[in-house]
Amino acid sequence: MRRLFVVSLLSTFAVLPVWGQGLTLGEHYTLRSYTGKAMGNVFSASLKFNSLHVVTNNTSVCGSLVGAIGSSYVDLEGRRRMQVTVLNSPEEAQNLNPATEAVALIFGGQASPEVNYNLTKSSLKRLADAKYNGAIFFHLRVWAPKFVERASQEDPAIAQYLANKENLYTVTADLSNKVIRLWQVSVKDGKQATVKELGTMPLNPIWEDLLRRSL
């Protein structure tokens, strides 16, 4: 039942507009504050990345999420480093040259699915060309609509690159059990799949309500 629910939720994310119409813009920012705090904690405490390069689009909702991630992830003592690249077009991904332990692809917000897909594909192509060996984290809005799978099917270089990587991660929202689930994932033979659940984080009532209404 749990697996069926998660699959159903991911399908919902895939077909709805990139940002749901059930919330005001301010509530979208609040939702991203909760989500970003959780994701920053995942990067620092669960996955234990000491350095992170976030790649995102130029929308305000994604900007609020990235800011919340950074606020949760970085420490005032400077033990963890975070760099952010904002892509205005797919072509700008050619300038990516990450030297961090991990890259997080955070594409969603007010951009259309096709815009976010093209940014995802161009970023993965650049990481493949650069032979980046660090971890890659896929935002739910990248993983749920199967952007990674589609890019792998369309570009053999991306497919080969991702098939050889074990350090790929994402999160899913399990509203039935009121938790966020962290996964190790894989992209092999042109198909993306979850491999191993690495942990859960409970949804508090406010966060859960915002997330439900955003769908």
Domains of the chain, first to last: 2-214 (3.40.50.2300)
Distance CA 73, CA 49 (A): 9
- pLDDT digits (tens), the chain, 215 positions: 344 334 434 433 433 445 455 899 999 999 999 999 999 999 999 999 999 999 999 999 999 999 999 999 999 999 999 999 999 999 999 999 999 999 999 999 999 999 999 999 999 999 999 999 999 999 999 999 999 999 999 999 999 999 999 999 999 999 999 999 999 999 999 999 999 999 999 999 999 999 999 87
102-106 and 168-174: which strand pairing? Answer: unpaired
Q: From 43, 184, 172, 42, select the one nearest 101 (Cα to Cα).
A: 43
pLDDT for residue 21: 59
Structure tokens at 171: 């999160």
Distance CA 183, CA 55 (A): 20
CB 139 within 8 A of CB 105: yes
pLDDT for residue 13: 42
Distance CA 126, CA 129 (A): 5
Distance CA 117, CA 123 (A): 10
Distance CA 97, CA 31 (A): 31
Structure tokens at 50: 């000491």
Indicate the pTM of the whole model.
0.91
Contacts of 41 (CB under 8 A, 6+ apart): 72, 73, 201
CB 133 within 8 A of CB 144: no
Q: From 86, 107, 103, 89, select the one nearest 19 (Cα to Cα).
A: 107
pLDDT for residue 39: 98
Return the number of other C-beta atoms located less than 10 Å from residue 213's C-beta: 13
pLDDT for residue 14: 37
Contacts of 162 (CB under 8 A, 6+ apart): 124, 128, 148, 152, 168, 187, 188
Distance CA 85, CA 93 (A): 9
